[in-house]
Amino acid sequence: MSYGGGYGGGGGYGGGYGGGAGAGYGPPPGAPPSYGGGGPGGFSAGPPQGPPPGADPQLWNWFAAVDTDRSGNISALELQKALINGDWTPFDLDTVKLLMSIFDTDRSGTIGFAEFAGLWKYIKDWQNVFRHFDRDHSGSIDGRELQQALGQFGYNLSPQLLHLVEKKYDVDKGSGPVAPGAPPAGITFDRFVRACVVIKTLTESFQRLDDNRDGWIQINYDQFMQTVLSSP
């Protein structure tokens, strides 16, 4: 069964996201929730506030709940306190900062209501992607599910690279057996989003340098450092 679209592209190093008819399931495009528990992750609840003219009342309620200092803008720390994974663990701060960097369009260091609306949809879209690939409904993405997800996005990573990605984003990888009552092993929703965005960004950076599209590039130290340090 084909699940629409994804990012355009294709070919080379596993290509860009999706692309073309029948490309399969793709991650949400661009610049995401069941709220609270039971789902991959989302916003925790808070007290309702009156919406401004023309605003969606429910969305405004979530924005007002997250804006704990009532400044009219949301900081990274406020957003982190509001975002939870399906297992009730808080979002990883690096993922929160990544989301902020995507939606902080005026580069103020905070997000206003209009920017928050885009962030809300982005997380909801990513939740649908996460649910689709969480085949065993464990609330996390294991190595096999990660391979399936990245493959359908158009990234055919080698087993060695897949292992590195899993090791980097699964906080419990290699730490021994999971303790009774602890969250299941695997990549949580927040880290799954970050892993996919990082792989997309790095691949696009490589493609920009690969002028003849043969999967090989020659770069100097400065170009390499710029590419790595510019990634999320």
In whole angstroms, give the CA distance from residue 183 to residue 218.
Answer: 43
151 CB burial (10 A radius; 0-12, 13-18, 19+): middle
The predicted-structure confidence for 62-92, as pLDDT tens digits, reads as follows 899 999 999 999 999 999 988 888 888 889 9
The predicted-structure confidence for 150-168, as pLDDT tens digits, reads as follows 999 999 899 999 999 999 9
pTM: 0.73
- Kindly report the CA angle at 51 between 92 and 190, in degrees rounded to 5? 15
33 near 43, Cβ under 8 Å?
Answer: yes
Q: What percent of the chain has pLDDT over 70?
A: 73
Question: Which tokens is 87 given?
Answer: 């297992």
* pLDDT score of 46 more than 60: no
The predicted-structure confidence for 11-29, as pLDDT tens digits, reads as follows 444 444 333 333 345 555 5
Question: Which domains occur in the chain, in start order?
Answer: 57-173+184-230 (1.10.238.10)
